[in-house]
Amino acid sequence: MARISIFGIGYVGVVSAACLAKDGHEVVAVDVDPVKVENINAGKSPIVENGLDALIAAGVASGRLRATLDAREAVLGTDASFVCVGTPSAPDGSVGLTYVVSACEAIAAALKEKDGFHSVVIRSTIVPGSTEGVCIPVLERISGGIAGKDFGVGYYPEFLRESTAIEDNYDPGLIVFGHLDAPTGAILTELNADLPCEIHKVDLRTAEMVKYTSNTWRAVKVTYANEIGNIAKACGLDGQTVMKILCSDSKINISSYFMRPGFAFGGSCLPKDVRALRALAHDKGVVPHLMDAVLEANAEQIARAERMVRQSGARRVGMVGISFKPGTDDMRESPLAELAARLIGEGIDVSVYDPYVHTALTEEMSAIGRTDRKVPDLASRMVGEIGELIAGSEAIIVGNLYDEARAPLTAASEATVMVDLTRLDPARTSSGAYSGICW
Protein backbone atom coordinates (compact mmCIF):
# COMPACT_ATOMS: atom_id res chain seq x y z
CA MET A 1 0.00 0.00 0.00
CA ALA A 2 1.18 3.53 -0.78
CA ARG A 3 1.60 6.56 1.44
CA ILE A 4 0.12 9.57 -0.34
CA SER A 5 -0.17 13.26 0.49
CA ILE A 6 -2.94 15.11 -1.30
CA PHE A 7 -2.58 18.85 -1.77
CA GLY A 8 -5.94 20.58 -1.93
CA ILE A 9 -8.98 19.56 0.12
CA GLY A 10 -11.41 20.60 -2.55
CA TYR A 11 -13.82 18.42 -4.47
CA VAL A 12 -11.25 16.23 -6.26
CA GLY A 13 -8.81 16.15 -3.37
CA VAL A 14 -11.23 15.13 -0.65
CA VAL A 15 -12.96 12.45 -2.75
CA SER A 16 -9.60 11.03 -3.82
CA ALA A 17 -8.32 11.07 -0.24
CA ALA A 18 -11.37 9.29 1.12
CA CYS A 19 -11.37 6.61 -1.58
CA LEU A 20 -7.63 5.97 -1.31
CA ALA A 21 -7.94 5.56 2.46
CA LYS A 22 -10.83 3.15 1.95
CA ASP A 23 -8.57 1.12 -0.36
CA GLY A 24 -6.04 0.75 2.45
CA HIS A 25 -3.55 3.48 1.57
CA GLU A 26 -2.19 5.91 4.14
CA VAL A 27 -3.38 9.37 3.14
CA VAL A 28 -2.48 12.84 4.42
CA ALA A 29 -4.66 15.67 3.09
CA VAL A 30 -2.97 19.09 2.94
CA ASP A 31 -4.63 22.48 2.72
CA VAL A 32 -4.06 26.10 3.71
CA ASP A 33 -7.61 26.36 5.10
CA PRO A 34 -7.65 25.34 8.79
CA VAL A 35 -11.41 24.78 8.75
CA LYS A 36 -11.11 22.08 6.05
CA VAL A 37 -8.27 20.45 7.96
CA GLU A 38 -10.31 20.46 11.18
CA ASN A 39 -13.31 18.98 9.38
CA ILE A 40 -11.30 16.07 7.99
CA ASN A 41 -9.63 15.32 11.30
CA ALA A 42 -13.05 15.36 12.96
CA GLY A 43 -14.26 12.79 10.44
CA LYS A 44 -16.49 15.26 8.62
CA SER A 45 -16.69 16.11 4.93
CA PRO A 46 -16.01 19.75 3.92
CA ILE A 47 -18.29 19.33 0.88
CA VAL A 48 -21.66 17.78 0.09
CA GLU A 49 -21.26 14.56 -1.89
CA ASN A 50 -23.26 11.34 -1.72
CA GLY A 51 -21.63 8.83 0.61
CA LEU A 52 -18.59 10.97 1.37
CA ASP A 53 -19.34 11.68 5.05
CA ALA A 54 -19.33 7.98 5.92
CA LEU A 55 -16.22 7.34 3.86
CA ILE A 56 -14.24 10.11 5.56
CA ALA A 57 -15.42 9.08 9.02
CA ALA A 58 -14.33 5.50 8.34
CA GLY A 59 -10.96 6.62 6.97
CA VAL A 60 -10.19 8.80 9.99
CA ALA A 61 -11.38 6.11 12.43
CA SER A 62 -9.09 3.56 10.77
CA GLY A 63 -6.10 5.88 11.13
CA ARG A 64 -5.49 5.85 7.38
CA LEU A 65 -6.77 9.37 6.75
CA ARG A 66 -5.78 12.62 8.39
CA ALA A 67 -5.30 16.25 7.40
CA THR A 68 -2.65 18.86 8.07
CA LEU A 69 -1.61 22.44 7.36
CA ASP A 70 2.05 21.36 7.31
CA ALA A 71 3.13 20.65 3.72
CA ARG A 72 6.68 19.78 4.75
CA GLU A 73 5.57 17.14 7.24
CA ALA A 74 3.17 15.65 4.69
CA VAL A 75 5.80 15.29 1.96
CA LEU A 76 8.48 13.91 4.26
CA GLY A 77 6.07 11.29 5.56
CA THR A 78 4.70 10.02 2.23
CA ASP A 79 5.90 8.42 -1.01
CA ALA A 80 3.93 10.57 -3.43
CA SER A 81 2.13 13.90 -3.48
CA PHE A 82 -1.01 14.48 -5.57
CA VAL A 83 -1.72 18.08 -6.53
CA CYS A 84 -5.50 18.52 -6.60
CA VAL A 85 -5.87 22.29 -6.31
CA GLY A 86 -8.19 24.44 -8.41
CA THR A 87 -7.29 26.01 -11.76
CA PRO A 88 -9.80 28.84 -12.21
CA SER A 89 -9.76 30.81 -15.45
CA ALA A 90 -7.39 33.74 -15.74
CA PRO A 91 -8.93 37.09 -16.85
CA ASP A 92 -8.09 36.31 -20.49
CA GLY A 93 -9.73 32.88 -20.31
CA SER A 94 -6.49 30.92 -20.09
CA VAL A 95 -5.94 28.36 -17.35
CA GLY A 96 -5.00 29.83 -13.97
CA LEU A 97 -1.97 28.08 -12.50
CA THR A 98 -1.44 30.18 -9.36
CA TYR A 99 -2.59 27.47 -6.94
CA VAL A 100 -0.77 24.72 -8.82
CA VAL A 101 2.48 26.68 -8.69
CA SER A 102 2.02 27.35 -4.96
CA ALA A 103 1.49 23.66 -4.27
CA CYS A 104 4.55 22.73 -6.35
CA GLU A 105 6.63 25.31 -4.48
CA ALA A 106 5.59 23.85 -1.11
CA ILE A 107 6.30 20.29 -2.26
CA ALA A 108 9.65 21.26 -3.78
CA ALA A 109 10.80 22.96 -0.60
CA ALA A 110 10.17 19.72 1.31
CA LEU A 111 11.83 17.63 -1.41
CA LYS A 112 15.02 19.60 -0.81
CA GLU A 113 15.17 18.03 2.66
CA LYS A 114 14.07 14.54 1.69
CA ASP A 115 16.52 11.70 1.15
CA GLY A 116 14.22 9.10 -0.40
CA PHE A 117 12.56 9.15 -3.82
CA HIS A 118 9.25 11.01 -3.99
CA SER A 119 6.73 11.30 -6.82
CA VAL A 120 4.83 14.50 -7.61
CA VAL A 121 1.60 13.78 -9.49
CA ILE A 122 -0.52 16.60 -10.87
CA ARG A 123 -4.25 15.89 -10.91
CA SER A 124 -5.44 19.46 -11.43
CA THR A 125 -6.83 20.24 -14.88
CA ILE A 126 -4.05 22.01 -16.78
CA VAL A 127 -3.53 22.58 -20.50
CA PRO A 128 -1.02 20.48 -22.47
CA GLY A 129 2.56 21.47 -21.72
CA SER A 130 1.85 22.87 -18.26
CA THR A 131 3.48 20.05 -16.30
CA GLU A 132 6.63 20.24 -18.42
CA GLY A 133 6.65 24.00 -18.91
CA VAL A 134 5.54 25.24 -15.48
CA CYS A 135 5.43 22.54 -12.80
CA ILE A 136 8.72 20.77 -13.48
CA PRO A 137 10.79 23.99 -13.67
CA VAL A 138 9.36 25.10 -10.31
CA LEU A 139 10.02 21.70 -8.73
CA GLU A 140 13.58 21.54 -10.07
CA ARG A 141 14.48 25.14 -9.23
CA ILE A 142 13.39 24.95 -5.59
CA SER A 143 14.32 21.33 -4.80
CA GLY A 144 17.61 21.39 -6.63
CA GLY A 145 16.82 17.97 -8.11
CA ILE A 146 16.20 16.68 -11.61
CA ALA A 147 12.72 15.55 -12.58
CA GLY A 148 12.52 11.87 -13.46
CA LYS A 149 15.81 11.18 -11.69
CA ASP A 150 15.88 12.72 -8.23
CA PHE A 151 12.10 12.85 -7.90
CA GLY A 152 9.22 11.49 -9.95
CA VAL A 153 6.64 13.36 -11.98
CA GLY A 154 3.28 12.28 -13.33
CA TYR A 155 0.06 13.71 -14.67
CA TYR A 156 -3.05 11.77 -13.66
CA PRO A 157 -6.34 13.50 -14.55
CA GLU A 158 -9.60 12.70 -12.79
CA PHE A 159 -12.98 12.11 -14.41
CA LEU A 160 -15.27 12.44 -11.40
CA ARG A 161 -18.79 13.79 -11.70
CA GLU A 162 -20.30 15.66 -8.80
CA SER A 163 -23.02 13.66 -7.01
CA THR A 164 -21.63 10.35 -8.36
CA ALA A 165 -17.94 10.87 -7.60
CA ILE A 166 -17.39 7.83 -5.36
CA GLU A 167 -19.13 5.57 -7.86
CA ASP A 168 -17.04 7.08 -10.66
CA ASN A 169 -13.85 6.50 -8.69
CA TYR A 170 -14.51 2.77 -8.52
CA ASP A 171 -16.11 2.36 -11.95
CA PRO A 172 -14.41 4.91 -14.20
CA GLY A 173 -15.05 5.17 -17.90
CA LEU A 174 -11.47 6.24 -18.52
CA ILE A 175 -8.08 5.90 -16.84
CA VAL A 176 -5.09 7.67 -18.31
CA PHE A 177 -1.83 8.95 -16.88
CA GLY A 178 1.57 10.12 -17.99
CA HIS A 179 4.81 9.67 -16.07
CA LEU A 180 8.48 10.54 -16.49
CA ASP A 181 9.87 7.67 -14.44
CA ALA A 182 9.24 4.04 -13.56
CA PRO A 183 8.51 4.50 -9.81
CA THR A 184 5.77 7.03 -10.51
CA GLY A 185 4.30 4.80 -13.20
CA ALA A 186 4.36 1.86 -10.77
CA ILE A 187 2.45 3.80 -8.08
CA LEU A 188 -0.23 4.96 -10.51
CA THR A 189 -0.55 1.47 -11.98
CA GLU A 190 -0.94 -0.02 -8.51
CA LEU A 191 -3.67 2.45 -7.58
CA ASN A 192 -5.70 1.53 -10.67
CA ALA A 193 -4.85 -2.15 -11.08
CA ASP A 194 -8.13 -3.51 -9.70
CA LEU A 195 -10.47 -1.10 -11.49
CA PRO A 196 -12.68 -2.39 -14.35
CA CYS A 197 -11.14 -0.19 -17.01
CA GLU A 198 -8.23 -0.19 -19.44
CA ILE A 199 -5.23 1.83 -18.21
CA HIS A 200 -3.76 4.15 -20.84
CA LYS A 201 -0.11 5.03 -20.13
CA VAL A 202 1.01 7.97 -22.24
CA ASP A 203 3.31 11.00 -22.14
CA LEU A 204 2.50 13.94 -19.87
CA ARG A 205 1.13 16.25 -22.56
CA THR A 206 -1.14 13.59 -24.06
CA ALA A 207 -2.64 12.91 -20.64
CA GLU A 208 -3.21 16.64 -20.15
CA MET A 209 -4.87 16.87 -23.57
CA VAL A 210 -7.14 13.88 -22.93
CA LYS A 211 -8.59 15.63 -19.89
CA TYR A 212 -9.44 18.78 -21.84
CA THR A 213 -10.75 16.73 -24.75
CA SER A 214 -13.08 14.87 -22.39
CA ASN A 215 -14.48 18.01 -20.82
CA THR A 216 -14.90 19.99 -24.03
CA TRP A 217 -16.48 17.01 -25.81
CA ARG A 218 -19.13 16.87 -23.12
CA ALA A 219 -19.71 20.59 -23.57
CA VAL A 220 -20.09 20.11 -27.33
CA LYS A 221 -22.60 17.29 -26.79
CA VAL A 222 -24.72 19.44 -24.48
CA THR A 223 -24.62 22.30 -26.98
CA TYR A 224 -25.52 20.00 -29.88
CA ALA A 225 -28.44 18.47 -27.98
CA ASN A 226 -29.71 21.94 -27.08
CA GLU A 227 -29.45 23.15 -30.67
CA ILE A 228 -31.35 20.12 -31.97
CA GLY A 229 -33.90 20.67 -29.20
CA ASN A 230 -34.37 24.31 -30.20
CA ILE A 231 -34.84 23.43 -33.88
CA ALA A 232 -37.16 20.52 -33.04
CA LYS A 233 -39.35 22.69 -30.82
CA ALA A 234 -39.56 25.35 -33.54
CA CYS A 235 -40.93 22.58 -35.79
CA GLY A 236 -43.44 21.51 -33.17
CA LEU A 237 -41.44 18.43 -32.14
CA ASP A 238 -40.07 17.08 -28.86
CA GLY A 239 -36.27 17.46 -28.95
CA GLN A 240 -35.72 15.03 -26.08
CA THR A 241 -37.59 12.31 -27.92
CA VAL A 242 -35.48 12.96 -31.03
CA MET A 243 -32.21 12.73 -29.08
CA LYS A 244 -33.33 9.67 -27.12
CA ILE A 245 -33.98 7.81 -30.37
CA LEU A 246 -30.65 9.01 -31.81
CA CYS A 247 -28.75 7.73 -28.77
CA SER A 248 -30.35 4.29 -29.11
CA ASP A 249 -28.16 3.71 -32.19
CA SER A 250 -24.77 2.43 -31.01
CA LYS A 251 -23.67 1.28 -34.48
CA ILE A 252 -23.32 4.62 -36.26
CA ASN A 253 -24.39 7.64 -34.23
CA ILE A 254 -22.50 6.68 -31.07
CA SER A 255 -19.70 4.99 -33.01
CA SER A 256 -16.02 5.81 -32.50
CA TYR A 257 -15.56 5.61 -36.30
CA PHE A 258 -16.37 9.29 -36.68
CA MET A 259 -14.07 10.31 -33.81
CA ARG A 260 -10.77 9.89 -35.68
CA PRO A 261 -9.08 13.23 -36.47
CA GLY A 262 -8.36 13.52 -40.18
CA PHE A 263 -9.76 15.16 -43.29
CA ALA A 264 -13.08 16.88 -43.95
CA PHE A 265 -16.39 15.07 -44.25
CA GLY A 266 -18.13 14.85 -47.62
CA GLY A 267 -20.44 12.65 -49.65
CA SER A 268 -24.03 12.84 -50.76
CA CYS A 269 -25.54 13.14 -47.28
CA LEU A 270 -23.60 14.95 -44.58
CA PRO A 271 -22.81 18.31 -46.26
CA LYS A 272 -26.26 18.84 -47.78
CA ASP A 273 -28.08 17.69 -44.65
CA VAL A 274 -26.15 20.02 -42.36
CA ARG A 275 -26.92 22.85 -44.77
CA ALA A 276 -30.59 21.88 -44.94
CA LEU A 277 -31.09 21.69 -41.17
CA ARG A 278 -29.18 24.95 -40.81
CA ALA A 279 -31.47 26.62 -43.38
CA LEU A 280 -34.57 25.20 -41.66
CA ALA A 281 -33.38 26.60 -38.33
CA HIS A 282 -32.92 30.08 -39.80
CA ASP A 283 -36.36 29.83 -41.43
CA LYS A 284 -37.87 29.02 -38.02
CA GLY A 285 -36.06 31.89 -36.31
CA VAL A 286 -33.48 29.70 -34.54
CA VAL A 287 -29.80 30.61 -34.80
CA PRO A 288 -27.93 27.32 -35.44
CA HIS A 289 -24.58 28.32 -33.96
CA LEU A 290 -23.14 24.80 -33.96
CA MET A 291 -24.33 23.97 -37.49
CA ASP A 292 -22.71 27.18 -38.71
CA ALA A 293 -19.48 26.24 -36.96
CA VAL A 294 -19.56 22.67 -38.36
CA LEU A 295 -19.64 23.91 -41.95
CA GLU A 296 -17.03 26.57 -41.28
CA ALA A 297 -14.69 24.10 -39.58
CA ASN A 298 -15.15 21.51 -42.34
CA ALA A 299 -14.25 24.06 -45.00
CA GLU A 300 -11.19 25.08 -42.99
CA GLN A 301 -9.96 21.48 -42.92
CA ILE A 302 -9.87 21.47 -46.72
CA ALA A 303 -8.06 24.81 -46.68
CA ARG A 304 -5.59 23.41 -44.15
CA ALA A 305 -4.68 20.54 -46.48
CA GLU A 306 -4.37 22.96 -49.37
CA ARG A 307 -1.91 25.10 -47.39
CA MET A 308 0.14 22.03 -46.48
CA VAL A 309 0.52 21.11 -50.15
CA ARG A 310 1.33 24.68 -51.21
CA GLN A 311 3.97 24.96 -48.52
CA SER A 312 5.75 21.91 -49.95
CA GLY A 313 6.42 23.85 -53.16
CA ALA A 314 5.60 20.77 -55.27
CA ARG A 315 4.26 21.37 -58.78
CA ARG A 316 3.54 17.71 -59.61
CA VAL A 317 1.24 16.21 -56.99
CA GLY A 318 -0.13 12.69 -56.80
CA MET A 319 -3.41 12.10 -54.98
CA VAL A 320 -4.31 8.74 -53.50
CA GLY A 321 -8.10 8.77 -53.57
CA ILE A 322 -10.52 11.22 -55.13
CA SER A 323 -13.91 9.80 -54.05
CA PHE A 324 -15.41 10.96 -50.75
CA LYS A 325 -14.33 7.73 -49.01
CA PRO A 326 -12.58 4.43 -49.90
CA GLY A 327 -14.55 1.63 -51.52
CA THR A 328 -16.74 3.78 -53.77
CA ASP A 329 -16.50 5.89 -56.91
CA ASP A 330 -18.92 8.45 -55.42
CA MET A 331 -17.40 11.93 -55.77
CA ARG A 332 -20.40 13.97 -54.72
CA GLU A 333 -19.13 16.74 -52.45
CA SER A 334 -15.88 14.84 -52.00
CA PRO A 335 -13.44 17.04 -50.07
CA LEU A 336 -10.63 15.34 -51.99
CA ALA A 337 -12.19 16.37 -55.30
CA GLU A 338 -12.53 19.91 -53.95
CA LEU A 339 -8.87 19.88 -52.90
CA ALA A 340 -7.77 18.57 -56.30
CA ALA A 341 -9.80 21.23 -58.11
CA ARG A 342 -8.22 23.98 -56.01
CA LEU A 343 -4.69 22.74 -56.64
CA ILE A 344 -5.34 22.42 -60.37
CA GLY A 345 -6.73 25.95 -60.34
CA GLU A 346 -3.40 27.10 -58.90
CA GLY A 347 -1.51 25.58 -61.81
CA ILE A 348 -0.39 22.41 -60.03
CA ASP A 349 -0.28 19.23 -62.11
CA VAL A 350 -2.44 16.71 -60.24
CA SER A 351 -2.51 12.95 -60.93
CA VAL A 352 -4.92 10.58 -59.17
CA TYR A 353 -4.82 6.97 -58.05
CA ASP A 354 -8.27 5.70 -57.09
CA PRO A 355 -9.03 2.10 -58.13
CA TYR A 356 -12.81 2.50 -57.79
CA VAL A 357 -13.08 5.70 -59.79
CA HIS A 358 -10.58 4.28 -62.30
CA THR A 359 -12.78 1.20 -62.80
CA ALA A 360 -15.90 3.30 -63.24
CA LEU A 361 -14.19 5.47 -65.85
CA THR A 362 -12.60 2.56 -67.69
CA GLU A 363 -15.87 0.67 -67.92
CA GLU A 364 -17.74 3.88 -68.77
CA MET A 365 -20.34 3.41 -66.07
CA SER A 366 -23.21 5.82 -66.56
CA ALA A 367 -23.32 6.95 -62.92
CA ILE A 368 -19.60 7.66 -62.59
CA GLY A 369 -19.02 10.03 -59.73
CA ARG A 370 -22.81 10.34 -59.28
CA THR A 371 -22.58 13.38 -61.65
CA ASP A 372 -20.45 15.59 -59.36
CA ARG A 373 -17.67 16.60 -61.78
CA LYS A 374 -15.42 19.07 -59.98
CA VAL A 375 -12.04 17.87 -61.21
CA PRO A 376 -11.10 19.13 -64.70
CA ASP A 377 -10.01 16.42 -67.15
CA LEU A 378 -10.31 13.72 -64.50
CA ALA A 379 -10.05 10.78 -66.91
CA SER A 380 -6.69 11.97 -68.24
CA ARG A 381 -5.37 12.46 -64.70
CA MET A 382 -6.12 8.91 -63.55
CA VAL A 383 -3.18 6.55 -62.95
CA GLY A 384 -3.79 2.80 -62.85
CA GLU A 385 -0.85 1.74 -60.67
CA ILE A 386 0.26 3.20 -57.35
CA GLY A 387 3.92 2.82 -58.33
CA GLU A 388 3.37 4.96 -61.40
CA LEU A 389 1.75 7.68 -59.29
CA ILE A 390 4.64 7.69 -56.81
CA ALA A 391 7.29 7.78 -59.53
CA GLY A 392 5.71 10.77 -61.26
CA SER A 393 5.03 12.91 -58.17
CA GLU A 394 7.05 15.49 -56.28
CA ALA A 395 4.53 15.27 -53.45
CA ILE A 396 1.83 12.77 -52.56
CA ILE A 397 -1.49 13.40 -50.85
CA VAL A 398 -2.86 10.32 -49.08
CA GLY A 399 -6.59 10.97 -49.04
CA ASN A 400 -8.07 7.47 -49.14
CA LEU A 401 -6.06 4.42 -48.16
CA TYR A 402 -6.15 1.19 -50.16
CA ASP A 403 -4.50 -2.05 -49.03
CA GLU A 404 -2.30 -2.44 -52.11
CA ALA A 405 -1.02 1.13 -51.71
CA ARG A 406 0.02 0.97 -48.07
CA ALA A 407 3.46 -0.66 -48.48
CA PRO A 408 4.66 1.41 -51.46
CA LEU A 409 3.43 4.62 -49.87
CA THR A 410 5.20 3.77 -46.61
CA ALA A 411 8.44 3.21 -48.51
CA ALA A 412 7.99 6.42 -50.52
CA SER A 413 7.31 8.51 -47.43
CA GLU A 414 10.96 8.33 -46.41
CA ALA A 415 12.09 10.49 -49.34
CA THR A 416 9.01 11.92 -51.06
CA VAL A 417 7.01 14.80 -49.59
CA MET A 418 3.81 13.29 -48.25
CA VAL A 419 0.68 14.98 -46.89
CA ASP A 420 -1.32 12.30 -45.09
CA LEU A 421 -5.02 13.02 -44.54
CA THR A 422 -6.06 9.55 -43.38
CA ARG A 423 -3.15 7.99 -41.36
CA LEU A 424 -0.86 5.68 -43.27
CA ASP A 425 0.66 4.31 -40.08
CA PRO A 426 -1.02 4.77 -36.65
CA ALA A 427 2.39 4.85 -34.97
CA ARG A 428 3.80 7.62 -37.18
CA THR A 429 3.67 11.36 -36.60
CA SER A 430 4.85 14.32 -38.65
CA SER A 431 8.60 14.41 -39.26
CA GLY A 432 10.95 14.97 -42.17
CA ALA A 433 9.15 14.78 -45.51
CA TYR A 434 6.05 13.26 -43.94
CA SER A 435 3.23 15.46 -42.58
CA GLY A 436 -0.01 14.23 -41.04
CA ILE A 437 -2.89 16.68 -41.11
CA CYS A 438 -3.77 16.09 -37.41
CA TRP A 439 -0.79 14.12 -36.07
Question: Annotated binding residues for substrate, as ranges?
Answer: 159-162, 211, 258-262, 266, 325
How many C-beta atoms surround the C-beta of residue 356 within 10 A?
18
Indicate the annotated binding residues.
31, 36, 87, 125, 159-162, 211, 258-262, 266, 272, 325, 332
CA quadruple 79, 195, 18, 200: dihedral positive or negative? positive
197 counts as catalytic: no
Indicate the annotated binding residues for NAD(+).
31, 36, 87, 125, 162, 272, 332
Instruction: Decide if 131 contacts 121 (C-beta within 8 A).
Output: no
Distance of CA 439 to the CA centre of its chain: 12
Marked catalytic residue, from 135, 197, 269, 438: 269
Residue 400's closest CA among 343, 350, 331? 331
CB proximity list for 142: less than 8 A, separation 6 or greater:
104, 105, 108, 109, 111, 112
Helix 136-143 vs helix 98-111: crossing angle, to nearest 10 = 30
Active-site positions? Answer: 269
